[in-house]
Amino acid sequence: MVDVGGVPFGGRGITVIAGPCSVEGKEVILEAAGIAKRAGAHVLRGGGFKPRTSPYAFQGLGKEGLRLLKAAGDSVGMPVISEIMDAAQLPAFLDHDIDCLQVGARNMQNFTLLKAIARAGKPVMLKRGLSATIEEWLQAAEYLAAFGSEGIILCERGIRTFETATRNTLDLTVLPLMRQWTHLPIIVDPSHAAGIPALIPPLSRASIAAGADGVAVECHPRPKEARSDGAQALLPGELSGLIADARIMAAAVGRSFVAPVRV
């Protein structure tokens, strides 16, 4: 089991990470934190350093984004997770006590980064690379373990295939397979896999049914105003519905929904 600021990943529980793609400002991240908390999510997400395909797209608020994220998490009593793109950013993550370091798909095999953060004493969520095989993904997790990381969470977020109807292709095969190959907790990010809000609730249910230890989803109070990934952001009501279903699915497969921390 991996402990993220008091929230367990793995074991019998089902855990939910929710929040906007990026931290856009103080008010909006506070609003998003309230939405995630009321819906029943456990961990608040939000990127400060954003890996954008276009160099002209919003790159995130950087260190200030991490500060705002942590303050928003504290305001509702939720631990926080954010993506680290470069070892040079590590002091900012430690200064702001970010509870879990996210390694994004684009950096899964950035071995210098993996080695540097493995020694930091923080849990790491390792997303599957855009075109990474399961074996390569596990080897990347092995880098973290070999260099001192104790809390590693895997996150399936869809892979590149010939299909263009969805942003990526969600590979649910990894769930039963990883149960055979590793003891590490594994969660699913159906937001980046599908890229379409309507697909995210059914894919979340399917993920839990297939053995995921939780899901990570993007939400926004006003998706149309989002500065990144607005097209896939869930509305507050959609997030609440997804989490209500996650509770039902958890019970159906003999798991329990982790009790959210009370504030």
Which residues are at the interface with ligand PEP (CB under 6 A)? 21, 47, 51, 104-106, 127, 157, 189, 192
Judged by CB, which is closer to ligand PEP: 126, or 255?
Answer: 126
Measured from the CB of residue 47, what is the shortest distance to Mn ion in angstroms?
7
Measured from the CB of residue 31, what is the shortest distance to Mn ion in angstroms?
18
Contact call for residues 70 and 82 (beta carbons, < 8 A): no
Return the range that interacts with Mn ion (CB under 5 A); candidates 2-10, 76-84, 157-165, 225-233.
225-233
Please list, in sequence order, all residues whose beta carbon lies within 8 angstroms of the beta carbon of residue 198, skipping any fewer than 6 positions away. Answer: none
Spatial distance between the Cα atoms of 51 and 205, rounded to a whole number of angstroms: 28
Taking CB under 5 A as the criterion, the residue among 2, 7, 14, 21 binding Mn ion is 21
Return the range that interacts with Mn ion (CB under 5 A); candidates 17-25, 69-77, 139-147, 201-209.
17-25
Spatial distance between the Cα atoms of 59 and 87, rounded to a whole number of angstroms: 17
DSSP 86: -
Which residue number places its CB atom closest to Mn ion? 21
Q: Per rule CB under 5 A, is residue 99 in the interface with Mn ion?
A: no
Taking CB under 5 A as the criterion, the residue among 83, 156, 229, 238 binding Mn ion is 229
Taking CB within 5 to 8 Å according to partner kind, which of Mn ion, ligand PEP, none is near residue 127?
A: ligand PEP
Q: Could you tell me the two tokens for 62?
A: 């950087």
Taking CB within 5 to 8 Å according to partner kind, which of Mn ion, ligand PEP, none is near residue 113?
A: none
Contact call for residues 157 and 105 (beta carbons, < 8 A): yes
Measured from the CB of residue 106, what is the shortest distance to ligand PEP in angstroms?
6
Question: Scanning the structure block, which residue is given the tokens 């105003």?
Answer: 225
Judged by CB, which is closer to ligand PEP: 213, or 218?
Answer: 218
Judged by CB, which is closer to ligand PEP: 72, or 255?
Answer: 72
* Strand boundaries in 24-123, DSSP class E: 43-45, 80-83, 100-103
25-54 binders of Mn ion (CB under 5 A): none
Measured from the CB of residue 22, what is the shortest distance to Mn ion in angstroms?
7
Judged by CB, which is closer to Mn ion: 24, or 229?
Answer: 229
Give the type of residue at 4: V
Contact call for residues 17 and 47 (beta carbons, < 8 A): no
Spatial distance between the Cα atoms of 46 and 66, rounded to a whole number of angstroms: 8
241 membership: H or E segment, kind and range = helix 236-252
C-alpha Rg value of the chain to the nearest Å: 16
Measured from the CB of residue 51, what is the shortest distance to ligand PEP in angstroms?
6
Taking CB within 5 to 8 Å according to partner kind, which of Mn ion, ligand PEP, none is near residue 104?
A: ligand PEP
CA atoms within 13 Å, Cβ hemisphere of 228: 26
Give the type of residue at 196: I
Measured from the CB of residue 98, what is the shortest distance to ligand PEP in angstroms?
14
Using CB under 5 A, list all residues that contact Mn ion.
Answer: 21, 229
